Amino acid sequence: GWPGSGGTRGGAAMDLFGDLRRMNKRQLYYQVLNFAMIVSSALMIWKGLIVVTGSESPIVVVLSGSMEPAFHRGDLLFLTNFHDDPIRAGEIVVFKVEGRDIPIVHRVIKVHEKGNGNIKFLTKGDNNEVDDRGLYKEGQNWLEKKDVVGRARGFLPYVGMVTIIMNDYPKFKYALLAVMGAYVLLKRES
């Protein structure tokens, strides 16, 4: 190899620590504050979306293939959950089942409306052979409005793949967070 080519990686690391040492405390505080601003802005946007859409989780990622070909793993769904909207057969809803942490995205296949306005309905994944009764809690045959987190109003294909990769490979998540943290702290003000 060329003279001096072996020491580049070590040199880069030393430069980085030199940079960190040279960066004065004020600059560091500024970057930490900057990071806090980004995080709080994201939280405010999220809270705003919750208020505007009426859904406790306005954006969800499709995690399974049970709704293909309508939605694929990694699609990002935008939800609304206005209580006045009637639930209709054929609609795609996101619902929570007792005992399961992750909400399920499936299509409504049957709706029973009672005289007093109460609604019960049954869901199924487009790609599944059977309806969702096996997924509901024991003894539950129908979903009610209170089980619904939201209804799919639009989607972006595959944008949520990052979420799925982070779920499937936790190490990737920590690597990504480390890179983002380092970027924010070391970013020079141009």
Active site residues: 66, 106, 132
β-bridge partners, 152: 79
> By the 8 A CB rule, do 80 and 54 touch?
yes
- Which two tokens mark 183? 């970027």
Q: For residues 175 and 142, what is the distance between their CA atoms, to the nearest angstrom?
A: 42
β-bridge partners, 106: 93
Q: For residues 164 and 63, what is the distance between their CA atoms, to the nearest angstrom?
A: 7
